[in-house]
Structures are given as structure tokens and as C-alpha cells.
């Protein structure tokens, strides 16, 4: 009889699991739940709680109606009262009552005891439902909460701010006297982005040269060393149309561009501009 009343609770729990699973799928494609979706999940929570209350009430009612006759015996009462604190806490019954707890069916001579679910497990189960309801209202109804998409956006904003502070603090530590070519992927990627945004119009997407000179050959108008290229980008060559980038790019960004330009050497793009300047030989 008890199992019949537990069935609705299990079904409602399955429904809630399905709702949570669908919510996780939904969050993969959208940052917020719609009003009707939140309303549906709320209704499932309420239904789960109602079924839980009804189940507990009916179980207690059935226990009263089907109260075994042995409970009226003084021996049963004495045995129940003689239990220790922990036996009462865990709803354990004395071994002398084991025969009274046998379930009617058996298989190959093996019988099963009708032991109740431990109270600690039920308390944990009830508290998880309460927590789920509070979480739903706190994060999706009353407020937006720290759901994954918002948390990610906030962490990105914090990281960008920290990066900006770092650049302001350490960017000036690089100059044309100590600049070095960087080879790590992150620096080269940053240099490629800066080059694409600012240099492609004059030097071409492959460094082949358009208005400005070819950056892939061995010939340079203003020196081909790392120091020379850094100086040319920073100070510019106004008389030849090369503007100074020191007001637009900090020294670390210029270093990233210089590092990226170094990767263009010897790439031999299609239709390169003719060599200009003097051949640079690394020392």
C-alpha cells in the first residue's frame, strides 16, 4: 500500500528531472528563459510539493487505519520504548520484531524486510526540493542571478579590465632598445589582428605591398632589424605617407606587430611589389 502512494512522488521527480534537462539544453542556445517556460517549471515544482504533502498525509492515514494488532500488545510497546536514541533517530526496530516486518512474498526461501527509508535520506530529499524552489525564484523569477551566461560575461569583463590595467602599467617597459621578436601564439595572433586592422590597406593582406613596400622580401627602406621596424612603426615616416602609430598603439602592441611581420619574411606571396631599399642581412 505504501508503494502505491510513493509512485506519484517518483513520477513527479522524473518530471522535474526532465524539466531540468530541457532547461540545460535551452541554456545552450539562449541566455534567458521565457516567461512561459519559467511558469511551466514553477508549476512542476508546485505540483511536486503538493504530491509530496499528499503522499506523506496518505501514508500516515493508512498507517492509522492499518495499525497492526501487535501494537496493542504490551510486549510491542515495551520493545519500542526500550530502543536507544540512535535506534529511534534512524527508525530502527528491535531484532525481536523482525518476524513482524517480513513482507508476504518470498523467492527461493529468501524473505525481505519492510524497512522504512532512513530519516536522514528523507530530510536530504525534502531539503533539495526546498533548495530547488528557492533557486528557481532567486535566479530566474525574482532576479536574473549568476546563471552561466551572465557569469561568463562578467568574468570576461573583469579579465578585460585587468588586461587594460596591466597594459597601462607595463606597456612602456618595451622600447626600441630592448624590443625582441615574440614567438608565442597569443602574441602573433594579436599582432596579426592589429596588422589586419591598420596595415593591410598599404602593405597588403599577405605583406606583398600595395602603396607601401613589400614586407616579405629582404629589402628595407628604413632598416630591417627588429629595432628599425619598431622605430619605423612608432615614429612613422611622414614624408613618405607612413604615419606615426605611437598615439594609437602602445609599445607592447607595436612589438606584437613587429613579431608578426617577422613571420612574413620569405613567404613569397602572389604578385609581390618590386624590392625597395637596401638588402638587410641579419648580424
Q: Are the C-beta atoms of residues 147 and 27 closer than 8 Å to each other?
A: yes
Ramachandran quadrant class, 143 (left: phi over 0; alpha: psi -120 to 50; beta: rest): beta
How confident is the prediction for the chain on average, in pLDDT?
Answer: 77
The continuous run of DSSP H or E covering 219 comes out as strand 219-220
**3-state class of 10 per DSSP?**
helix
> Largest Cα–Cα distance in the chain?
113
Task: Flag whether pLDDT at 54 surpasses 70.
Answer: yes
Task: Flag whether pLDDT at 143 surpasses 60.
Answer: yes
Got the DSSP string for 41-105? HHHHHHHHHHHHHHHHHHHHHHHHHT--GGGGSHHHHHHHHT--HHHHHTT---GGGGGGGEEEE
Q: What is the spatial distance between Cα 149 and Cα 212, in angstroms, rounded to a whole number?
A: 44
Class of domain 185-279: mainly alpha
C-alpha cell at 253: 602592441
| Banded model confidence at residue 50, pLDDT cuts 50, 70, 90 | confident
Task: Flag whether pLDDT at 263 surpasses 90.
Answer: yes
Q: What is the spatial distance between Cα 211 and Cα 220, in angstroms, rounded to a whole number?
A: 14
- CB neighbours of 244 closer than 8 A, spacing ≥ 6? 234, 235, 236, 238
Q: What is the spatial distance between Cα 234 and Cα 175, in angstroms, rounded to a whole number?
A: 10
Half-sphere exposure of 237 (CA within 13 A, CB side): 14
Name residue, grid cell 607601401: 212
Task: Flag whether pLDDT at 14 surpasses 60.
Answer: no
Candidate from 65-74, 158-167, 195-204, 218-227 with smallest mean pLDDT: 65-74
| Banded model confidence at residue 20, pLDDT cuts 50, 70, 90 | very low
| Banded model confidence at residue 51, pLDDT cuts 50, 70, 90 | confident
Task: Flag whether pLDDT at 6 surpasses 70.
Answer: no
Name residue, grid cell 510497546: 77
| Banded model confidence at residue 68, pLDDT cuts 50, 70, 90 | low
Q: What is the spatial distance between Cα 53 and Cα 115, in angstroms, rounded to a whole number?
A: 21
Q: What is the spatial distance between Cα 34 and Cα 122, in angstroms, rounded to a whole number?
A: 33
Task: Flag whether pLDDT at 115 surpasses 80.
Answer: no
Q: What is the spatial distance between Cα 150 and Cα 159, in angstroms, rounded to a whole number?
A: 14
Q: Which of 58-72, 143-157, 194-208 has the highest mean pLDDT?
A: 194-208
**3-state class of 152 per DSSP?**
helix
* Per-residue model confidence (pLDDT) at position 260: 95
CA dihedral 106, 107, 111, 115 (to 10 degrees): -80
| Banded model confidence at residue 250, pLDDT cuts 50, 70, 90 | confident
Q: Are the C-beta atoms of residues 259 and 181 closer than 8 Å to each other?
A: yes
From residue 155, how far is each of 100, 146, 150, 190 by CA, in Å?
Answer: 61, 11, 9, 21
Name residue, grid cell 607612413: 242
* Per-residue model confidence (pLDDT) at position 23: 43
Q: Are the C-beta atoms of residues 176 and 234 closer than 8 Å to each other?
A: yes
Amino acid at each position: 500500500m505504501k508503494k502505491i502512494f510513493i509512485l506519484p512522488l517518483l513520477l513527479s521527480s522524473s518530471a522535474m528531472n526532465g524539466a531540468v534537462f530541457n532547461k540545460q539544453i535551452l541554456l545552450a542556445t539562449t541566455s534567458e528563459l521565457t516567461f512561459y517556460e519559467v511558469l511551466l517549471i514553477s508549476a512542476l515544482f508546485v505540483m511536486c510539493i503538493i504530491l509530496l504533502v499528499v503522499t506523506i498525509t496518505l501514508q500516515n492515514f493508512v498507517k492509522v487505519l492499518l495499525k497492526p494488532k501487535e501494537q496493542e500488545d504490551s510486549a510491542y510497546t515495551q520493545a519500542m520504548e526500550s530502543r536507544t536514541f540512535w535506534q529511534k533517530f534512524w527508525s530502527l526496530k528491535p531484532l525481536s520484531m523482525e518476524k513482524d516486518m517480513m513482507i508476504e512474498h518470498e523467492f527461493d526461501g529468501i524473505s525481505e524486510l519492510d524497512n522504512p527509508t532512513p530519516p536522514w535520506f528523507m530530510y536530504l530529499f525534502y531539503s533539495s526540493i526546498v533548495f530547488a524552489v528557492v533557486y528557481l525564484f532567486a535566479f530566474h523569477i525574482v532576479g536574473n542571478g549568476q546563471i552561466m551566461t551572465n557569469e561568463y560575461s562578467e568574468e570576461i569583463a573583469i579579465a578585460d579590465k585587468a588586461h587594460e590595467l596591466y597594459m597601462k602599467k607595463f606597456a612602456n617597459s618595451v622600447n626600441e632598445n630592448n624590443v625582441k621578436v615574440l614567438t608565442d601564439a597569443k602574441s602573433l595572433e594579436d599582432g596579426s589582428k592589429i596588422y589586419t586592422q591598420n596595415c593591410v590597406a598599404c602593405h597588403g593582406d599577405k605583406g606583398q605591398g600595395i602603396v607601401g613596400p613589400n614586407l616579405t622580401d629582404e629589402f628595407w627602406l628604413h632598416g630591417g632589424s627588429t629595432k628599425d621596424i619598431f622605430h619605423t612603426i612608432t615614429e612613422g615616416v611622414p614624408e613618405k605617407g607612413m604615419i606615426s602609430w605611437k598615439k594609437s598603439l602602445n609599445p607592447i602592441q607595436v612589438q606584437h606587430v613587429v613579431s608578426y611581420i617577422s613571420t612574413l619574411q620569405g613567404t613569397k606571396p602572389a604578385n609581390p611589389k618590386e624590392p625597395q631599399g637596401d638588402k638587410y642581412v641579419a648580424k
